[in-house]
Every structure is written in C-alpha cells, then in structure tokens.
C-alpha cells in the first residue's frame, strides 16, 4: 500500500482519487491546499484519517507520505516536483510536467540522487491497448502513421472575445501541442521511438501560441503525422500503416477499439479492454514499479518522457513557439 499526499485540490485530483481507489494499491494520507478548509473538505470526502495541511513545508515533511501527487497549475509543476523530490518522496506530476526538456532532466537527476521515482502522468500511454498495439506491430514493417487529438476548447469563445485564458497563454505554456499534442506524441515515442527529425506547422494565435497544428515525425523516410487542435474538433480515427495492412484506432487518448485491415481488406479486431477509469492503468503501473522497486522499468518511462519533451522542444523551435522562461 502506497500512502500518498495530494498537492492541490483541482478537479483532476478528484479523478485521480477515483482511479487510485479502483486499484486498491494506494491510501490517501494527506492533502495540501493554500486554504486549510479546502484541504479538509477534500480529505473528508475520501476518508476520516486524512491530514489536512495549508503549509507546503509541513505537508512535504509528513513522514507518513511515500508519494506526492501534484495537480497544481502547470506553471507550478516544476517547482512543486522539485520540492517533493527534495523531501524524498516519489512524485506523480500531471502533464505537462515541464515546459522544457532541461527541466525534466534536472528533476530526473534529483530523483535519482534521492532514490525516489518521478512520473509524468501521461495516462494514455499506460493503457493496456497501447501495449497490445506495440505487440501487434512487433514483427511488422511500419510504413507510417497518422495520429491525432483535436478538440474544440470551451475557452475558445473567450479567446475570440479578446480575453487570454491560461490554456492559450504562452506565459503558462499554453496551446494545442502542450495540452493535447502530448497524447499522440507519447504514443508515437512508445511505438516508434525517438524520431530522427521533426517539423511543426502551427496555426498560431497572435504569433504566440498554437491553436492547431500538424507535426511531422520522421523515422528514416517513414512519416508519422500528428494533428492537434483546440480551435476545432477532429472526428477522425488514427491509423498506423504497415507492409501488411492498416491498423485503425478509434482514439489515441482513450483507445476503445483497434482493428487491423490487411491488404485483402480482411479485418480483425484486437482484444482491447478498457479500464474502469481512464487514470486507473497509469496508477497501477506506477504502484507496480514503486512496490517492486523496479528501477529499470522506471528509468525506461523516465527516458520516454525525456524524449517526448525533447521532441516538443524541437517542434516548438521549428514553429517559433516561445514560452516565457525559454
């Protein structure tokens, strides 16, 4: 059983609670909020023995906590992760964990020094279906892929009305790539590895952040295309092309079905199972590594995150998407 503390009582923290409660591997030990009443209310909703803190220092020093789940605003992820790691806690930090690969590298080296595990909560890459696809592709020659996640943002009307919601602010590392693009990027890196070259054609707002865009990841002459958008919705499935046929995925951020159509048009469905909660599979994966002290598995995941953040950085350079602090 992993006893964990929750840093920040945002809606996603409630989702995390539902997910970890489904795993049976975690116990909520403490909650931190700048407002004690909020921490107390959150804790009470999930158990009578949860300690509430409004002091970050005291919260992180709580010896009962093995792990800190960080759900604070994106701009605070790095500093909160650093503090939690320095306190010797395992860390699960919501994505994007960092805005720059150097920050991830720094956190990683701190985690290694402190002998704790640091995870970016890239939940979709832990879905069983993702491993199933990897296994299916193992002996096939990949010709290319077409992955996407584009969803009209509820904040678009405000943006068009002249406001600047955080999700579209370069100051907070906003835009489509950081928010939604990271989902297909994780899968591309998991399935195909780190690309040789990348390019990003961004549709920008006010020369600042990307509302939509198309990334090209090149592996030799094999092209993986990623589409992302916050100013429109795409309803298209994703596809992976192999010498033997086409693999069709209904989604890349919550895979519900995977079908393979071979060159003759014959179709087979892969035996996809869907977890009871979207965040459950990542929670199980993190618990397994921590409990088994599987440092080698952890380093693989940490390296995957490093590669993803390096690719995001390269894509941003290509499209001249500059965040404050770059």
Residues engaged in binding a second copy (CB under 8 A):
143-144, 146, 152, 201-204, 212-214, 216, 218, 221-223, 225, 227, 229, 231-237, 239, 241-243, 245-246, 248, 261, 263
Structure tokens at 32: 């931190």
Measured from the CB atom, the residue of 132 and 143 that comes closer to a second copy is 143
Q: Which of 38, 89, 95, 112 is catalytic?
A: 95
Q: Which among 121, 37, 26, 22 is positioned nearest to 77, based on CA atoms?
A: 121
Cβ neighbours of 262 (radius 10 Å): 12
Cβ distance to a second copy smaller for residue 1 or 263: 263
Provide the minimum distance between the beta carbon of 47 and a second copy in the complex, in angstroms, as a whole number.
Answer: 38
Exposed / middle / buried, residue 301 (Cβ in 10 Å: 0-12, 13-18, 19+)? buried
Which residues lie across from 91 on neighbouring strands? 68, 118
Q: Is 114 a catalytic residue?
A: no
Find the radius of gyration of the CA atoms of the chain: 20
Query: Could you tell me the smallest distance in angstroms from the CB atom of residue 279 to a second copy?
Result: 24
Distances from the Cα of 275 to the Cα of 78, 97, 220, 240, 266, angstroms: 29, 24, 35, 23, 28
Per-residue exposure over 8-41, b if at least 16 CB sit within 10 Å of its own CB, e if not: bbbeebeebbebbbbbebbbbbbbbbeeeebbbe
- Least distance from C-beta 214 to a second copy, angstroms? 6
Task: Name the residue nearer to a second copy (CB basis): 71 or 176.
Answer: 176
CA distance 207 to 222: 31
Q: Judged by CB, which is closer to a second copy: 128, or 151?
A: 151
Give the three-class secondary structure for 117: coil
In the chain, count H helices and then E strands: 11, 14
Compute the least distance from the CB of residue 152 to a second copy, in Å. 6
CB of residue 240 to a second copy, shortest distance in Å: 10
Closer to a second copy by CB, 161 or 235: give it.
Answer: 235
For residue 325, the surrounding DSSP H or E stretch is none
Residues marked as catalytic: 95
């Amino acid at each position: 059983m992993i006893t964990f503390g929750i840093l920040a009582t945002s809606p996603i923290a409630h989702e995390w609670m539902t997910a970890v409660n489904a795993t049976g591997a975690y116990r909520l030990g403490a909650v931190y909020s700048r407002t004690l009443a909020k921490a107390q209310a959150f804790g009470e909703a999930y158990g009578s023995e949860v300690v509430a803190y409004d002091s970050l220092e005291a919260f992180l020093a709580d010896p009962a906590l093995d792990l800190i789940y960080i759900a604070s605003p994106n701009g605070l992820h790095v500093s909160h992760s650093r503090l939690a790691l320095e306190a010797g806690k395992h860390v699960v930090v919501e994505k994007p964990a960092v805005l720059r690969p150097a920050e991830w590298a720094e956190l990683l080296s701190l985690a290694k020094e402190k002998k704790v595990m640091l995870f970016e909560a890239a939940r979709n890459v832990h879905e069983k279906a993702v491993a199933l696809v990897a296994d299916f592709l193992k002996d096939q020659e990949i010709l290319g892929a077409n992955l996407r996640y584009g969803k009209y943002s509820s904040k678009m009307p405000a943006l068009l009305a002249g406001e600047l919601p955080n999700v579209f602010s370069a100051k907070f590392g906003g835009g489509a790539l950081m928010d939604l693009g990271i989902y297909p990027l994780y899968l591309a890196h998991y399935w195909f590895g780190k690309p040789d070259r990348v390019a990003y054609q961004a549709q920008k707002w006010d020369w600042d952040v990307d509302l939509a865009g198309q990334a090209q990841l090149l592996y030799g002459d094999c092209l993986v295309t990623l589409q992302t958008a916050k100013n429109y919705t795409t309803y298209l499935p994703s596809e992976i092309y192999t010498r033997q046929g086409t693999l069709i995925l209904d989604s890349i951020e919550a895979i519900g079905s995977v079908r393979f159509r071979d060159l003759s048009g014959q179709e087979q469905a892969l035996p996809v199972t869907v977890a009871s909660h979207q965040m459950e599979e990542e929670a199980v994966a993190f618990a397994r590594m921590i409990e088994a002290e599987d440092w080698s598995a952890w380093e693989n995941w940490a390296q995957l995150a490093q590669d993803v953040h390096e690719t995001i950085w390269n894509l941003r350079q290509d499209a001249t998407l500059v965040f404050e602090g770059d």
